[in-house]
Amino acid sequence: MFDRRLVQHFDWVLLALALVLEAIGILTLYSAVNASAHVADLTGPVYLKQTYWFGMGIAAMVAMFLFNYKWLHRWGGAAYAFSVGLLLAVAFAGKEVSGSQRWLVVGSLSFQPSEIVKIAVVIVLARYFSDRCSEEGFTLKSLWKPLVWTLVPFILIARQPDLGTGLVVLLIAGSMTLFVKIERRSMICLTGVGVFVCSVAWFFLKEYQKQRISAFWNPETDPLGAGYHVIQSKIAVGSGMVLGKGFLKGTQNALSFLPEQHTDFIFSVLAEEWGFLGSAVVVTLYLLLIIWGLSIAMRSKEPFGTILAVGITSMVFWQAVINVGMALGLLPVVGVTLPLISYGGSSLVATMLGIGILMNISMRRFMFKD
Amino acid sequence: MNHTYLKTVDSDWYKQRLSGTLICVFAVFLVLLARLYYLQVVKGAEFRRQSQNNCVRLQSIPPARGLIFDRNGVLMVDNRPSFSVSIVLEDAKNPKEVLLRLAEFLGEEPQPMLSKLDGARGYPSFKPILLKRDLSRDSVAVVEAHKLDLPGIFITIEPMRHYVEGKRASHLIGYLSEISEEQLKSGRFPHNRSGDFIGKFGVEKSCESFFHGEPGTRQVQVNALGQVTRVLETVQTVPGENVYLTLDLELQRKTEEMFAEKVGAAVAMDPSNGHILAMVSSPAFDPNAFVEGMTFEEWNKLAANEFHPMGNKAIQGQYPPGSTYKIVTTIAGLEEGVINEDTKFYCPGYYRCGNRTFRCWKRGGHGSVDIIDALAQSCDVFFFQLGEKLGVDRLARYATSCGLGMSTEIKLDNEAPALVPSSAWKLRKIGVPWQAGETLSVAIGQGFNLVTPIQMVSLVAAVANGGTRYKPLVVGRIRGVDGSLVKVGAAEPVGKLAASDKTLELLRRGLVDAVNRREGTGWIARVRGVEVAGKTGTAQVVSMEKDHEGKPLESIPFRLRDHAWFVAFAPAEAPRIAVAVLVEHGGHGSSAAGPIAREMIKTYLGI
B206 is an active site residue: no
Answer yes or no: is pLDDT of B403 > 90. yes
Per-residue pLDDT tens for B424-468? 999 998 888 998 888 999 999 988 999 999 999 999 999 999 999
What's the predicted TM-score (pTM) here?
0.63
pLDDT of residue B150: 87
pLDDT band at residue B126, thresholds of 50, 70 and 90?
Answer: low
pLDDT of residue B124: 63
Per-residue pLDDT tens for B48-93? 887 776 566 777 788 889 999 999 999 999 999 889 898 888 777 7
Closest residue in chain B to residue A70, using alpha carbons only: B1
Per-residue pLDDT tens for B477-510? 999 988 899 999 899 999 999 999 999 999 999 9
Answer yes or no: is pLDDT of B422 > 80. yes
Over residues A343-360, mean pLDDT? 92
How many structural domains are present in chain A? 1
- The Cα–Cα gap between A271 and A273 comes to 6
Q: Using only C-alpha atoms, what is the Rg of chain A?
A: 21
Instruction: State the nearest Cα–Cα gap between B129 and chain A, in angstroms.
Output: 14
Over residues A1-22, mean pLDDT? 85
Neighbour-count burial of A90, counting CB atoms closer than 10 A to its CB (0-12 exposed, 13-18 middle, 19+ buried): buried
- The Cα–Cα gap between A51 and A41 comes to 18
CB contact under 8 A, B47 and A239: yes
Q: Which helix (H) or strand (E) holds B387?
A: helix B380-390
Of B4-8, B241-245, B465-469, B558-562, which gets the smallest average pLDDT?
Answer: B4-8
Per CB-CB distance under 8 Å, the chain A contacts of B47 are 234-235, 237-239, 241
pLDDT of residue B507: 95
Q: Which helix (H) or strand (E) holds A223?
A: none
Answer yes or no: is pLDDT of B471 > 50. yes
Answer yes or no: is pLDDT of A75 > 80. yes
Average pLDDT, chain B: 88
pLDDT of residue A368: 58
pLDDT band at residue A46, thresholds of 50, 70 and 90?
Answer: confident
Closest CB from A181, A238, A303 relative to B39 = A238
- Domain range spanning residue A347? 4-368
pLDDT of residue A222: 52
- CB of A318 within 8 Å of a chain B CB? The answer is no
pLDDT of residue B550: 58
- The Cα–Cα gap between B44 and A179 comes to 38
DSSP bridge partners of A354: none
Report the share of chain B in percent with pLDDT over 90.
56
Over residues A125-130, mean pLDDT? 93
Per CB-CB distance under 8 Å, the chain A contacts of B33 are 280, 283-284
- CB of A259 within 8 Å of a chain B CB? The answer is no
- CB of A232 within 8 Å of a chain B CB? The answer is yes
Closest residue in chain A to residue B89, using alpha carbons only: A255
Instruction: State the nearest Cα–Cα gap between B224 and chain A, in angstroms.
Output: 15
pLDDT band at residue B547, thresholds of 50, 70 and 90?
Answer: very low
CA B432, B436, B437, B442 dihedral sign is positive
Answer yes or no: is pLDDT of B271 > 50. yes
Closest residue in chain B to residue A176, using alpha carbons only: B21
- CB of B4 within 8 Å of a chain A CB? The answer is yes
- CB of A77 within 8 Å of a chain B CB? The answer is no
CB contact under 8 A, B5 and A302: yes
Answer yes or no: is pLDDT of A348 > 70. yes
Residue B356, Ramachandran bin (φ over 0: left; ψ between -120 and 50: alpha; else beta): beta
pLDDT band at residue A369, thresholds of 50, 70 and 90?
Answer: very low
- The Cα–Cα gap between A258 and A230 comes to 9
Per-residue pLDDT tens for B278-289? 999 989 999 998
Per CB-CB distance under 8 Å, the chain B contacts of A38 are 122-124
pLDDT band at residue B551, thresholds of 50, 70 and 90?
Answer: low
| Residues 6+ away with beta carbon under 8 Å from B7 | none
pLDDT band at residue A128, thresholds of 50, 70 and 90?
Answer: very high
**How many CB atoms are located within 10 Å of the residue A291 CB?**
15
Per-residue pLDDT tens for A176-226? 999 988 888 888 888 898 889 888 888 877 777 777 666 666 655 555 555
Closest CB from B8, B18, B44 relative to A297 = B18
CA B493, B498, B502, B505 dihedral sign is negative
SS3 B115: helix
- CB of A317 within 8 Å of a chain B CB? The answer is yes
Over residues A100-108, mean pLDDT? 77
pLDDT band at residue B114, thresholds of 50, 70 and 90?
Answer: confident
pLDDT of residue B3: 44
Specify the higher pLDDT residue, B128 or A167. Answer: A167
Per-residue pLDDT tens for A52-68? 889 999 999 999 988 88
Q: Label residues B491-526 b or e (16+ Cβ within 10 Å = b).
A: eeebbebbbeeebbebbbbbbbbbbbbeebbbbbbb
Answer yes or no: is pLDDT of A297 > 70. yes
pLDDT of residue A98: 62
